Structure 1
Amino acid sequence: MDYQRLIDWTDDHIVHSSGKVIIAFLLVTSVFAVGLGNVSTEAGTEQFASDIPANNALEAINDEFGSSFSEDTGTTQLVQRGDNVLTREELLHMLRAQERLQDKEDLRVSGTSSAASVVAQTLDPSATTVEEQIDAVESATPTQVRQAVRQNADNPAFTGTLSNDFNRKSASASATIGVVTHQVPGAGGGGGAGQSGSSPLTDIQLNSQRIVDTVGGDITVFGSGIVADEFGSVITDSLLIVTPAAVLFIVFFLVVAYRDLLDLLLGSFALLMAIIWTFGFLGLAGIPFSQMMIAVPPLLLAVGIDFGIHAINRYREDRQTGLGIDESMREATDQLLVAFFIVTGTTVIGFLSNLASDLAPIKDFGIVAAVGIIFTFLIFGVFLPAAKVWLDRRAEKYPIPVFSQSPLGAEGSRLGEVLRGGVVVAKYAPLAFLVVALVASAGAGWYAKDVDTSFTQEDFLPPEEVPGYLQNLPEPFAPDDYSVVATLNFLEEKFQTTQGGSVTIYYETPMERDTALEEIYRAGEDPPESFVSENRRADSQSIVTVIQSQAERDPEFRRLVQRNDLNGNGVPDQNLGKIYDYLLDSPAEDQAESYLSDDRRSTRVDYSVSADASQEEITQDGRMVADRFRGGAVATGSTIVFKAISDLIFESALISLGIALGATVIFLIFIYWVLEGLPSLGIVNTVPIAVAVAFVAGTMRFLNIPFNAFTATILSLTIGLGIDYSVHIVHRFIDERREYDLFTALDRTVRGTGGALAGSMLTTAFGIGVLVLALLSVLGQFGVLTALSIVYSFFASLLVLPSALVVWDRFVNDDPDVPMGHPNESTPRDDGAPSGQTVVTDGGRE
């Protein structure tokens, strides 16, 4: 395969048609810039839950059961706090909030309820409107209010809205929740376990908070619209904080790396082009920008900076030998285009391995990152060299200031001496050091086997308290005031009892079948440990409990149930159609519709679970109970859906790692076979990456960072980014080894390429590390791990790879003191080059 013809063709255009190349790239940039305006956003957890069976069941439940799940109805919670929210003054604050919300037509309020309303109607049973309820409380004395509170101490409709510290004797509670119902199309649609980054209730609830703030008292508006708003705003705020910080770090290190104003501006412009191309593609392809996409710009900067520094550094090396502009750039691109292609191939493989995931956002992330890396290769492999040639020609004709043009790590520099550490070790104890490195890596991998997995709604929300150094940032960088996590934590603390949530069984079966209700009843016997139970029966709500409750209140219905209850356990066994007909014509109609579908071919059963039960215990126990039904039953609920996503995240991490590692090895073996006739170099190339991956995984456990929606990609990403460092060293080493003995070639490689790698490592590690400033903690974890993966890959390439190359050279070349291809050199023991490919023989290149 004569790949050199393609490289020569590219070299010719870079050198002789640099102006045309620049114009072509600028035209393409303008096309992608149009796509920037089409970029949409998608936030929250809902995007991860699609196509998961448990979530599909949950959506089916929300579609099929009861008016409370109507797609045209949404609710807002009014969370009231205070020393005692049941005082006359605090009750009036809540009632006035309800009144003012009802009076605003654009809020589309169809009804309100609260503990204050219950107290008011106890004081005046005729007070059916909020205005009348306000009058009833205003005209009552504090003593009368306390008496009304005590009268409702056994009323679930009242106590269910109060915090756990409700005290009957003192008629006090520190918190209560009022509910406002809105008639809004689509407000109750969807309804899976996930929360999305958009909601028809967002504007309503934001406006509601502004109105509630006018009535006094400590009342917080809370609901799906508020959550959706913070899901979306945290992306914007994170980008506003992270992007400038990344730019500052990157510019600082680029100044150190380039030490020339023109090169700095050129490199920075090329980075900007890579971002425009990638996100323009995002808009043109219709892929939404999610929280995971926040990590794409730093990744593109990481690879782009590396390519840019290598291109400029290698060009400078050749200029220092006395070559002119054209000859130097030809020499540089002749070597670097191959290296860039290999790096791009392995990096793309690393990102595309995420297509094996069953989670759509991770797939989208892999696609966009892979496309972005290809764009980066084109921009830094073709555009930047062409622009560099064009600028340098004009610098010779016009008085354009040019500063330092010396390469990083040049011979005699302090950096060059520091970088030689791995060469010194490789010279005296390569095999021993390689064994130690691999054993240490195996130990780190074994230590990492207990890395946890996690997926929660809070992962995608800003923290309860924004750090002070971020709060003090000037506009527009200062983040918004966030309340969702604080409110969620408050609700959990104040309203949680021994019941920590629920598991729902979605059961598709003909519900008029005689044994249908008996199956539901028997499924609750001898419940598993995570289920709340009494007298060895699970605490549950179902069509069975609705029938039993109605039978207690309605003598006629009770007699109907008894006539059709063959075993006397209170559960009818025949004529179930008549039972349902009666129930749906009774005051219990709404309750019945919440547990029985319109076509009577499916039902739901809600089981209460313990607050201290783990996600895994709840999921296992829920599935065990579902198996007690006669097929067609699915355990669901937010806990089970999130556990399913968590399992998929872990599975994705392992599968992506396996695919990335395997495909990378195959690709490198093939590419070195085609390019150099030395396929075994592909295996040597992956040694430092295996070390880096093992240490990244070990670091995750050591720092207690779980696999989550972001970090699930970190291992395959380490391969994709980390291979960059080893590829540059291996490819440069082979070029040098053709002309020099083993250790001279290693020394020249590490001094030349190592300097560029050091600059790239520092720039990208700090550039990506700024993700720790993001408002999302999981994004900060991703930034830390990505920066560490780059650092580990750099040191593994500079310390471990030289020893691996020495060991490899001993097997492939008989004499380390003779260059590869020298007439005195024996035939290398590495063959397999395809027909027509240049191979190394005992007489030289043939």
Structure 2
Amino acid sequence: MNYQRYIDWADDRIVEDSRKVILAFLVVTVLFGAGLGNISTNAGTQQFTTGLPAEEAFEEVNTKFSPAFSADTGSTQLIQSETNVLAKPAMLRMLRTQESLEQNDDLRVTSTSSAAAIVARELNPSATTTEAQIRTLERSTDSEIDAAVRNVADNPQFTGLLSNDFNRKSAAASATIGVVTHELPAGLSSGSGQGGDSPLTDIQRQTEFTVDTTGAGSLTVFGAGILAEEFSNVVADSLILTVPAALIFILLFLSIAYRDLADMALGLGALFMAIVWTFGFMGLAGIPFSQMLIAVPPLLLAVGIDFGIHAVNRYREERENGTDIGRSMRITTDQLLVAFGIVTGTTVIGFLSNLSSDLPPIQDFGYVAAVGIVFTFLIFGVFLPAAKVELDRLRERYPIPTFSQRPLGSEGSRLGGVLRGGVVIAERAPVVFLLVILVVTGGAGMYATGISTSFSQDDFLPPEDNPDWIESLPEPFAPNDYTVTETTNFLDEKFTSSQGGDVTIYVEGPMRSDDALEQIHRAGEDPPDSFVREDGRADSTSIVTVIMDRAERDPDFRALVSRNDHNDNGVPDDNLEEIYEYLLSSSSRSQALNYITEDYRATRITYQVEGDASDSAVTEDAQTVADEFRFEATATGGTVVFQAVSDVIFESAIVSLAIALSGTAIFLVFIYWVIEGRPSLGIVNVVPVIVTVALLAGTMRYLGIPLNAITGTMLALTIGLGVDYSVHVVHRFADEYHTADLVTALDRTVRGTGGALFGSMLTTVFGIGVLALAVFPAIGQFGILTALSIVYAFLTSLLVLPSVLVVWSRVTNVWPGDFRSLSRRRSVLPGDDD
């Protein structure tokens, strides 16, 4: 396969038609720039749960067990914290706040509830309005109120609104929750995740303002709308903090790498062009910007900076030898277009491996990043060289200021001496060194098997307390005031009791079948460890508990149930349709429809779970219970959905790693067979990447960084980024090995390519490392891990790879001149003597 003619064609366009190339790229930039205005945003956890079976079941539960034709509603929590929220003054504050909210038409309040309202109704059953409840409490004595609190202490609706420290004897608790229900002007998803724009946001912010103006300082407003707003704000604040910092570091290290103002301007312009093309493509393709995609610009910068420094540095090497502009660039692009193409191919494979994930945001990330890398290849492989040619031709005609044009790592420089450390090891003890690396890699890989996996709202929210230096930043860098994390931590602390939550079993089947209710009843026997027990059975609510509750209060219904209960366990097992019809025609209709559909084709059972049970244990136990049903049953609920996402993240990380590694290896073997006739070089190329992945995975466990929605992509991305460094070394080595001995080829490689890699490594490590400043925790972790992966890739490429190449040369018995010599043909470049 003679690919060289295509490289020659590109060389001609870059050198001979440089102005046309520049103009074409600028026109395309304008076209992509038009798409920037179409970019939308998508934030929060909801985007990750879409499409999962547990989430689909959760959606069906919320849809089927809501009142038919009811208005869309949303709820706001009023969190009250005082010395004793059950004292008369505190309860009056809560009720007066409820009353002020009910009177504000803009808030579209349909109902309010609180522990204070329950106590007031206990004192006066006819106090059905908030106004009447306030009057009742105002007229009651403290001792009467305390007695009423003790009377309702067995009511789970009452205790469910109180903090864990509720003391029945002293009628005291330090916190309580009131609930305000709003009718919404637009639909609101009832999924388990939150994020994006929410119709509740404006209402809840108005609610917050109203509560503040009433002087109820002990009350905090919380809800899905506020949560959604902070999910979005954290993305914007992270960008505002990290982008300027990244620019500062990039400018600093690019100035060191280029050491020439005009060259640096070209590099920065190309980076800007890559960002515009990528995000313009997103806008034109209708791909929303999510938290996952915050990582795309740094990744493009990492590869773009690497390409730019390599192109300019390689060109300077030829220019330093006295070669003219056109011939120097032909030699540069003749070599680097191949290297850049290999890097692009392997990096794209690493990114596209994320398409194997079942999570749409991770798929979008892989797709956008892959497209962006292709754009980066075109811009830095074609546009930048053409612009550099045109710039240097202008320098010959005009007095454009020129600073240092000496390549990094040139012979005799201090940097060059440091970089050849790997060559020294390779000369003296390559086999021993590789055996040590093998042990370290194996140990790191084994240690990494203990990496944890997580998926929670905390991954998408800022820390409760930002560092002082962030809080002291001036506008526009100062972040928003975040309250959600503090509120959620308070709720976890105060309201997480032995009953830590619930899970739902969604059952679809003929609920008229005689054994339908018996299946539900049997499922509660001998419950798993994570389920709360009550009298030896699982603590649950279902259509069975609704029937039992109605039977206790209604003699006629009790007789009906008894006639159709053949085994006398209180659960009817005959004429179930008649049982259901009685319930739906009684005052228990709304309660029954919370657990069974009107067509009697689906039901749900809610089980209480222990507060100290892990999400994985709860999910596994819920699935075990669901499997006991003869009908189709699905375990669902917030806990199950989030655990399902966590499981998918882990599976995606492993699958994408396997795809990226195998795909990269196959690609490299093929490419080196085509360009050098030595497919074994492809395997050599992968060795430092494997070491890098193992070291990074071990570091993740050591630092306590879990595989979450963001960091779950890191292992595959490490292959995509790490192979960048090893490809440059191997390809340059193969090129030098055509005409030089083994040690000389290695020496030239680490001095020339190693110098460019060093400049690229410093720039990208600090440019991406600034993501650690993000107020979005998962992105901060992503930045740290990406920076570490680049450092590891740099070190393994310059320290490990020389020894691997030496051993490869011995094993394959390859010597200079044995190559197919297709990648570099100075003797046939235009301007050479034939």
TM-score tier (shorter)? over 0.9
**Which residue does the alignment assign to 2:459?**
459
What is the alpha-carbon distance in structure 1 between the residues aligned to residue 316 and residue 288 of structure 2?
41
Does structure 1 conserve the Cα–Cα contact (< 8 Å) formed by 2:92 and 2:134? Answer: yes
Q: What letter is aligned with 1:285?
A: A
| Separation in structure 1 between the aligned mates of residue 703 and residue 483 of structure 2, nearest angstrom | 28
Look up the match of 2:689.
689
Quick one: distance in 1 between partners of 2:156 and 2:425?
Answer: 75
2:433 is aligned to 433
Give the counterpart letter for 1:202 in structure 2. T
5 Å matches for 1:463-482?
A: 463-482=463-482
The equivalent residue for 1:387 is 387
Please say if residues 71 and 186 of structure 1, whose CA atoms lie closer than 8 Å, have aligned partners that are also in contact.
no
> Alignment partner of 1:402: what SS?
coil
Deviation at 1:43? Answer: 1.4
| Higher mean C-alpha displacement, 304-313 vs 54-63 | 54-63
**Cα distance, 1:360 vs. partner?**
1.3
Verify the 8 A CA contact 2:195 2:229 in the aligned structure 1: no
Residues in 1 aligned to 2:774 and 2:111: alpha-carbon distance in whole angstroms? 40
SS in 2 for 1:479: coil
CA distance in 1, matches of 2:119, 2:68: 24
Where does structure 1 lack aligned partners over 5 or more consecutive residues?
822-827, 839-846
Q: Is the 8 A contact 1:68 1:594 kept in 2?
A: no
Q: Partner residue of 1:664?
A: 664
Cα pair distance change 1:68/1:442, threshold 3 Å: farther
Q: Give how far 1:656 is off.
A: 0.9
Give deviations 1:12-53, integer Å, cap 9, x for gaps. 221222222111111111111111111111111222212221
Mean Cα deviation higher: 94-103 or 201-210: 94-103
1:201 partner amino acid: L
Partner in structure 1 of residue 573 of structure 2? 573
Letter in 2 for 1:298: P
1:589 corresponding residue in structure 2: 589
Q: What does residue range 536-685 of structure 1 map to in structure 2 within 5 Å?
A: 536-685=536-685
CA distance in 1, matches of 2:170, 2:768: 56
- What is the aligned partner in structure 1 of residue 41 from structure 2? 41
Paired with 2:438 and 2:545, the residues of 1 have a C-alpha distance of: 62
Does residue 699 of structure 1 match 2:699? yes
Structure 1 contact 22–383 (Cα < 8 Å) conserved: yes
Whole-Å Cα distance in 2 between the matches of residues 321 and 569 of structure 1?
A: 96
Per the alignment, residue 831 of structure 2 pairs with none
**1:787-846 CA deviation, whole Å, 9 max, x = no partner?**
11111111111011111111222244465xxxx22xxxxxx5x88x99x999xxxxxxxx
Structure 1 residue 185: Cα displacement:
4.6
Residues 654-803 of structure 1 mapped to structure 2, 5 A cutoff: 654-803=654-803
Change (3 A) 1:159 1:642: closer
Please say if residues 335 and 824 of structure 2, whose CA atoms lie closer than 8 Å, have aligned partners that are also in contact: no
| SS in structure 2 at match of 1:507 | strand
AA aligned opposite 1:77 = Q
Letter paired with 1:379: I
CA distance in 2, matches of 1:88, 1:376: 67
Which residue of 2 is the match for residue 101 of structure 1? Answer: 101
User: For 2:10 and 2:141, how far apart are their aligned partners in 1?
Assistant: 90
Which consecutive residues of structure 2, in runs of 5 or more, have no partner in the other structure? 826-834
User: For 2:144 and 2:48, how far apart are their aligned partners in 1?
Assistant: 52
The one-letter code of the counterpart of 1:104 is N
Report the Cα offset of residue 145 of structure 1. 4.2
After TM superposition, give the deviation of residue 481 of structure 1 in Å.
Answer: 1.5
Q: Secondary structure at the match of 1:264?
A: helix
Note closer, same or farther for the CA distance 1:70–1:274 as it changes in structure 2 (3 Å cut). Answer: farther
Paired residues of 1:70 and 1:188 also in contact (CA < 8 A): no
**Percent of counterpart pairs with the same letter?**
65
Q: Does the 8 Å contact 2:71/2:183 carry over to 1?
A: no
Q: Which amino acid aligns with 2:762?
A: L
Tell which deviates more after alignment, 639-648 or 90-99: 90-99
Q: Which residue of 1 aligns with 2:299?
A: 299
Answer whether contact 1:349 1:663 (CA < 8 A) is retained: yes
User: Post-superposition shift, 1:684?
Assistant: 1.0
Q: Which residue of 2 aligns with 1:213?
A: 212
CA distance in 2, matches of 1:86, 1:740: 87
Q: Which moved more, 1:671-680 or 1:751-760?
A: 671-680
Determine the structure 2 residue equivalent to 1:844: none
Alpha-carbon distance in structure 1 between the residues aligned to 2:723 and 2:624? 45
Name 2:196's counterpart in structure 1: 197
Contact 2:43/2:232, CA 8 A, preserved across alignment: yes
2:56 corresponds to:
56
Q: Displacement of 1:204 after TM fit?
A: 0.8
**Cα separation, 1, equivalents of 2:3 and 2:440:** 39
Distance 1:30 1:479, change over 3 A: same
Instruction: Report the equivalent of 1:522.
Output: 522
Q: CA deviation at 1:124?
A: 4.8
Q: Show the counterpart of 1:182.
A: 182
- 1:441 and 1:24 mapped to 2: Cα distance? 47
Match of 1:72 in 2: 72
Equivalent residue for 1:10? 10
Are the counterparts in 2 of residues 66 and 591 from structure 1 also a CA contact under 8 Å? Answer: no
Post-superposition CA distance 1:188-214 (Å, at most 9, x none)? 53x232223232111111111111111
- Aligned equivalents of 2:473, 2:74: Cα separation in 1: 36
Task: Give, as a single letter, the amino acid of the residue that structure 2 aligns with 1:311.
Answer: A
Q: Give me the whole-angstrom Cα distance separating, in 1, the residues matched to 2:69 and 2:310.
A: 59
> 1:537 Cα shift?
0.8
Name the CA distance, whole Å, in 2 between partners of 1:43 and 1:703: 26
On the 8 A contact 1:497/1:611 being kept in 2, the answer is yes
Distance apart, 1:309 and its partner CA = 0.5
SS of residue paired to 1:37: helix
1:159 counterpart residue number? 159
Greater shift after overlay, 430-439 or 38-47? 430-439
**Which residue matches 1:511?**
511
Please identify, of 296-305 and 477-486, the stretch whose mean Cα deviation from structure 2 is larger: 477-486
* 1:260–1:403 contact (8 Å) kept in structure 2: yes
**Does structure 2 retain, via aligned residues, the 8 Å contact 1:79–1:220?**
yes
Paired residues in the alignment total 824
SS of corresponding position for 2:452:
coil
One-letter amino acid of the structure 1 residue matched with residue 40 of structure 2: S
CA contact (8 A) 2:22 2:387 kept: yes
What RMSD, in angstroms, separates the aligned Cα atoms of the two structures?
2.0
State the alpha-carbon separation in 1 of the partners of residues 713 and 476 from structure 2. 31
Q: Deviations over 1:481-519 (max 9, x none)?
A: 212222222112212221111121111111111111111
1:396 CA displacement: 2.3
CA distance in 2: counterparts of 1:656 and 1:141, whole angstroms: 67
1:685-731 deviation line (CA, Å, top 9, x unaligned): 11111111111111122222221111211111111011111111111
Return the offset for 1:126: 4.3
More moved, 803-812 vs 741-750 = 803-812
2:828 maps to: none
1:376 alignment counterpart: 376
- Does the C-alpha gap of structure 1 residues 454 and 463 become closer, same or farther in structure 2, counting only changes over 3 Å? same
Partner-residue secondary structure (3-state), 2:769: helix
**Offset at residue 144 of structure 1 (A):** 4.8
Q: Where does residue 242 of structure 2 map in the other structure?
A: 242
Deviates more, 1:787-796 or 1:324-333: 324-333
Rounded to whole Å, the distance in 1 between the matches of 2:191 and 2:598 is 20
Cross-structure match for 1:824: none
* Distance in 2 of aligned mates of 1:745 and 1:359: 46
Counterpart Cα distance in 1 of 2:136 and 2:323: 95
- Contact 2:250–2:763 (Cα < 8 Å) also in 1: yes
Q: Structure 1 residue 259 and structure 2 residue 259: aligned?
A: yes
Output the CA distance in 1 between the equivalents of 2:550 and 2:495. Answer: 28
Instruction: Report the alpha carbon displacement of residue 223 of structure 1 after superposing the two structures with TM.
Output: 1.3
Q: Alignment partner of 2:34: what SS?
A: helix
Distance 1:799 1:721 in 2: 17
Separation of aligned partners in 1, 2:269 and 2:27: 15
Correspondence for 1:173: 173
Using a 3 Å threshold, how does the CA distance of structure 1 residues 60 and 94 change in structure 2: closer, same or farther?
A: same
| TM-score normalized with structure 2 length | 0.96
CA distance in 2, matches of 1:691, 1:445: 9
**CA distance in 1 between partners of 2:280 and 2:75 (Å):** 38
How far does residue 752 in structure 1 lie from its aligned partner after superposition?
A: 0.6
TM-score after normalising by structure 1: 0.94
Assess if the C-alpha contact under 8 Å between 1:74 and 1:187 holds in 2: no
Q: Which residue of 2 aligns with 1:110?
A: 110
